[in-house]
Structure formats: C-alpha cells, structure tokens
Structure 1
Amino acid sequence: MHVPDAGTPRVFIVITTFNRAAHLRKLLDSVAALDPAPSGVVVVDNASTDGTAEILAEADLPVPVLVHRPARNLGGAGGFAAGVARALDEGADWLWLMDDDVVVLPDALASFGPWMHRYSCIHGRRYDTEGRPFFWQHTLNEFLGVHLPVRGNVFAQSPVFHTNVGCFEGMLVAAPVVREIGLPDARFFLNGDDLTYGWLIAQRYPVAYIDAFVLRKTRAQRQVDLGIRHLNDSSDLSRFCGMRNRGYLARYLQLHGRHHRVGFGVGTVLTAVKELVRLVAVERSLSGASSLAGASSLWRGWRASRVILRDPDWTPEPPLSLPGPSGSLGTAS
C-alpha cells in the first residue's frame, strides 16, 4: 500500500454514522484497502445505540481513526459539520465526505488524483448494491429551487460533467474552499444540506462530476425510474426536513440574489407532489395511516419553512477564514 508522504496532499475521510454498525464495519474495511491511503479518517458517531462504539474500538486501519461522539444525534448535516471541523484541525488539505452505507473502491483516491490540480470540489461515480451505475446527475434550477435530473450520458463528450449541486455521499472538497464557504449548515439536520453546500461552492468554483467509479452502495434502496427522474425510498423524517429545509435554501438563494418568489413557490408545490408520488410509486404506502403520516410530515415541514423565511435574525454559516488570492483554487473552465 502506498502511504502518502509529506509532499502529498493530506486527504481525510469524514464519515457520519448512526446505528449502522454492520455497514460501518464494511466501510472501514474498504478504507483499509485504499491505495494510496488517506492521511486519516474522522468518524462522527451520532449517538448510536447499536454496536457502533465497539466497531470503532476494534477498527484496525493503517491510518489514524479519530472518533467524535456528540451527546445527541446531529443528523447528517451536523455530523458532517463536526467532522469537517475536526479534520481541518488535524491539518487536512482535502476532505472526502461520505455516509456510512457505502464502501470505497481500492483505487478511488488514485482516480481522483488527475483531477485534484484542476478542481476543488469533485464527485466520483457510484455503483448501487447490484453493481449497476447509481443515477446521480442533477443541477439546481434556481428559479424553482429544485434540483432537476440531467438525462442521457453526461460523459458522452467529456470525462467530466459540471454541476451546481453537491452530495455528501462522496464529495471531495479542498480545505481552502471549506474555510471560504464555511462549514455545512448543521441546521438542515438532513436532506438538502449537501445540495445547498454544493450550490454555494458552485457560486465561486466549478463543481465536477467525473467519469470514474469510486464508491459502491451497501444499503439497498428501492428506486423507481419515472422517465423524467429517479426516485429512491425515503422516510417521514426526511420528508419533513426536506420541506422545512426549503426555507434555508430560500434564504441562501436570497443572499445571492437568486431567489424568485413565484418560481420558488411553484418549486415547493412540485416538491410536495414528488414526495406524494414517492409514497405511492416507491414506498407503496397506499394505506390511509401511512399516506396521512407522509402528508402530515410535508405540511409540518412547509409550516416550519415559513418560520425560517420570516426569521429576522437568520444568518448564513460564516466563512472560517477570508478567501485567498483570486485563482488560488480550482477554476477550470
């Protein structure tokens, strides 16, 4: 195994986990086989109550594994904010963010290598649990405030596709970008935090999706191709957060002069319709109780989003440092 020397960028893997000990074990085993190896791993254990603590205590990797255990579940957003902060404190040059239900492919960091001099925010491709390409090619429509799928082979003409959204299931981001943009907004808890963070980065730097497989999902998800987009299964908590977090997305769009009130309202209606379709088409929730619970989550989330939009004290996540000289980060055309 090639272990990075002092002249190699320090890549830290940041993992957020919650009650998925079996998946986490597989992920850590795959990290141990990475060649080249990362400089370290930060795991945020979001107050898990299963065997996660034991898995982490037994972890035997050729690189340091640093564990952060908050007193309560911070959600994916809060977990990544805490993990990124810890990795920066450890001197990370790059941060590779991922959930606990994936494994990394052995040559993943080598696949990123040729692009790290050109871009400062990179996503690689993923396989699903069956070994098929997992659909992830979207862009945020700012008028609607909705991420829309890009159909077809986005790599037909180029090995890189530029997008304006992010995904914490595999985002590789340079430390100076994080310091300039700020930490992921922990208030999202889950759903839409990574999309928004990628969009914030894209306002200043290109966000790349490269034609190289770096991850494989280990948690099976039901997924339906509706022709115009793919839908995965979800949960009522995710539905609530997704609708509520439109309030946070709207505030960030306002901050950058990209918020269109009417268009965003249409996007909110489309989001609610999408979630109702998900209930029926993906989760097969046809019973009255399940449908009512799903609809109630959307309604409560929408009402919470209105509170965020009217909050006179709302502020964005602050940068961690002033931006460096122009052109110091990836600015590929």
Structure 2
Amino acid sequence: MTAPPVHVVVVTYNRSGYLRGLLDSILALDPAPTGVTVVDNASTDDTPDVLGAFAATAPCPVVVERLTVNSGGAGGFRAGVRAALAATTPGAAAWLWLMDDDVVALPDAIGVIAPFLADAGAVHGRRRDRTGRPFFWQNRFNAWLGVPLPVPGDVFAHGPVMRTDVGCFEGMFLNRRTAERVGPPDGRFFLTWDDTMYGWLISRTEPVTYVDRYVLRKIRPQRRVDLGVRHLNDSSDLSRYHVMRNRGHVARYLQTEHRWSRPGFALGTALTAGKELARLLLVERGVRGVVPLWRGWRDSRAILHDPAWRPEMGAPPAWPVRSAGTPSPGTDA
C-alpha cells in the first residue's frame, strides 16, 4: 500500500541531545515524510544550531517555528499544528505526525501505520521504552469521572486495532481534515491533559484508534513502577502542578460537550490526586511534591469559575455568554 503524505511535527525545549537523535531517525524513515515542522519552545541551549544544520541538509521541506517564550508541550503543539497547516497543502500533508523530542522514529513507521490511516480522525501506533519493551498505553476516557482509565488485558487479542477516545501527542497521527475542523490544540494546558482532551473531542465525531504496530521508541530514561493494569512513571513538580490545575480546563470542555457531572468529576479529581500521591510514594519515594499538587488544585478553581473561559478547540460553547459577575457553570470539585 502506498503511504499517504505524512508531515512530522516536533516540539522541543532545551534537549538538543535528544533532538539530534530524533532528527537523525526522521532522516532514516522509509517511506520518508513529505516535510518536517519543528517548534523550538524558546530553548536556551544549542537547539537553534541543531535545527539550522538539519534544515540545511534535510531532503524535504523544513519549517522551524521558534517561540519567544516557553509555552509548554500544549502551546508548542498548538503552534506546530498551525504552522504545519499554513505551510503545506493537503497533497503534501494529508496527515500530521506529532511527537516530543525524547523519542526516535522507527525506520518503517510510516509504512506500517499507513494501512490504518483511512477513515480516522487520529491514529496512534505503539511505542517501545528505552530498553525495547512495550510501553503501556491503552486507555479510554470516562467522561463521568473526567479521567482516562486503563484497559486491562491484551487489547489486540482479536485484531490489530483498538478503538479509543483519548489522544497522545507522543506519536499521534492527526488527519489534516480533522485538524482543520477541530482546530489546533488548546495551548492553555501548558503540560498534561491537552492531548487527552484533544483526542476525546475528535472521538466525538470521528474514530480515534490505537493499532498494534510499533512506530516510536522512547529514549529518555524514566523510573517506573509496574502496577499490572498500568505503569507509574516518575514526574516533576511542574507536571504535578498542571495535572491538578488543568482539571479546570477538563471540566470546562466536558461542560461544552454536555458531559460534565459534578459528583463524578469530584471523584475523578480525587482519583487523580490519589494517583499522583501514589506516584510520589512508590516511584519517587517522597512527599515533597504534595505542595505543587495542592497549588494546582487551588488554581483549577479559578478556571472552573472563570466567566470569560471559552474553548480553543472543538465546538463553540454550549451555554449562553455570561456577563462579569454572573455565576459560571463551574464546580467546586
């Protein structure tokens, strides 16, 4: 099968060593991508030099979008999707392949994923971890709780495709038509939940799938605990803060789609906090990250009750525009 034209979108920040390896792996892809867009999130290392050398030697068009401030993964992918759509035509980029800078692409990735790219809004291939073992990612979104839940067992026991309803920007193949309809990701998330909600919004009208074909390998080492039904990886205070803070944005998107439940979301928020506490205790062996969790939860409440909040992706708001001082449809969860 002839692969459709795939345009790679990479977001990077101060990890030029990882970035070099990723760019080398992109050059080794066969079939090759039709172009590459790299968003430099205001790096302060030698990333601009690495990107300049790559753009000068790559056999395909390269777009480098350098941001003036670090906008996180969410802002980076928002800028990257917008830049890729603006710089290409459907004939040159029917699909956008999104990825972080701490992975490498497997040489046959585009070829093995190509048969699964028809009639879908987003498609995810599998990843291997740094040691070559399968990286666990098989989730479905529970809208009542507002959290993705792991699907236990062998999800490919009866076929190579699992229907899901969440996204992952570490390897998502995004249909160009879908990106134009839904819009680019919401940059306000900064870190975490952005790809989950992007995939969920797409799944409301188009298939989102996870297929039994390996396309990436993670390079950055991570501490990990295997809980059987899921893995817990190490994290950072910045990520912990946004895990809780972005519950506010998750709630607002659920409200937009008429899928928000006050008691369910409150329970989902408690489960999210519990998972992060388990990560601290089991993986990082400490509790110093509790303060960022609390700060994130506190700041989520401002998002929940912000009367000026509007969705940046997907459908327009489902509730009437409210004037300042009018209670918002937020929750105290």
Percent sequence identity over aligned pairs? 58
Tell me if the contact between 1:183 and 1:319 (Cα under 8 Å) persists in the aligned partners. no
Where in structure 1 do 4 or more consecutive aligned residues deviate above 4 Å? none
Listed one character per residue, the Cα deviations across residues 252-294 of structure 1 (whole Å, up to 9, x for unaligned) are 0111111111011011111111111101111122xxxxx24x1
> 1:227: how far off?
2.9
Letter aligned with residue 71 of structure 1: T
Q: Does 1:80 align with 2:81?
A: no
Residue 134 of structure 1 aligns to a residue whose secondary structure is coil
Tell me if the contact between 2:185 and 2:313 (Cα under 8 Å) persists in the aligned partners. no
Residue 153 of structure 1 aligns to a residue whose secondary structure is coil
Listed one character per residue, the Cα deviations across residues 107-163 of structure 1 (whole Å, up to 9, x for unaligned) are 111112111223231000000000010000011111111111111110000100000
Residue 124 of structure 1 aligns to a residue whose secondary structure is strand
> 1:318: how far off?
4.7
> Which residues in structure 2 correspond to 1:83-94 (within 5 Å)?
83-91=80-88, 92-94=93-95
Q: In structure 1, what is the equivalent of residue 181 of structure 2?
A: 180
> 1:90: how far off?
1.7
Listed one character per residue, the Cα deviations across residues 54-107 of structure 1 (whole Å, up to 9, x for unaligned) are 111111322122111110001000000001101001223211000000000111
Letter aligned with residue 29 of structure 1: D
Q: In structure 1, what is the equivalent of residue 43 of structure 2?
A: 48
Letter aligned with residue 81 of structure 1: R
Letter aligned with residue 16 of structure 2: A
1: CA distance between counterparts of 2:188 and 2:168? 17
Tell me if the contact between 2:225 and 2:232 (Cα under 8 Å) persists in the aligned partners. yes
1: CA distance between counterparts of 2:16 and 2:222? 18
Q: In structure 2, what is the equivalent of residue 22 of structure 1?
A: 17
> Which residues in structure 2 correspond to 1:91-110 (within 5 Å)?
91=88, 92-110=93-111
Tell me if the contact between 2:124 and 2:172 (Cα under 8 Å) persists in the aligned partners. yes
Q: In structure 2, what is the equivalent of residue 33 of structure 1?
A: 28
Tell me if the contact between 1:179 and 1:319 (Cα under 8 Å) persists in the aligned partners. no
TM-score (norm 1): 0.90
1: CA distance between counterparts of 2:231 and 2:259? 26
The worse-fitting range, judged by mean Cα deviation, of 200-209 and 224-233 is: 224-233
Letter aligned with residue 105 of structure 2: V
May I ask how many residue pairs the two structures share in their alignment?
Answer: 309
2: CA distance between counterparts of 1:139 and 1:163? 5
Listed one character per residue, the Cα deviations across residues 158-201 of structure 1 (whole Å, up to 9, x for unaligned) are 10000010000000011110111111000000111001100000
Q: Which runs of 5+ in 1 are unaligned?
A: 286-290, 321-333
Q: In structure 2, what is the equivalent of residue 242 of structure 1?
A: 243
User: Which of 44, 57, 68 is matched with 2:65 structurally?
Assistant: 68
1: CA distance between counterparts of 2:12 and 2:229? 32
> 1:51: how far off?
1.6
Letter aligned with residue 72 of structure 1: V
Residue 17 of structure 2 aligns to a residue whose secondary structure is helix
Tell me if the contact between 2:25 and 2:105 (Cα under 8 Å) persists in the aligned partners. yes
> 1:300: how far off?
0.8
> Which residues in structure 2 correspond to 1:1-333 (within 5 Å)?
9-59=4-54, 60-91=57-88, 92-285=93-286, 291-292=287-288, 294-318=289-313
Listed one character per residue, the Cα deviations across residues 203-225 of structure 1 (whole Å, up to 9, x for unaligned) are 11110101100000110111111
Residue 214 of structure 1 aligns to a residue whose secondary structure is strand
Letter aligned with residue 215 of structure 1: L
Tell me if the contact between 2:121 and 2:202 (Cα under 8 Å) persists in the aligned partners. no
> 1:319: how far off?
5.7
Letter aligned with residue 273 of structure 1: G
Q: Which runs of 5+ in 2 are unaligned?
A: 316-333
TM-score (norm 2): 0.90
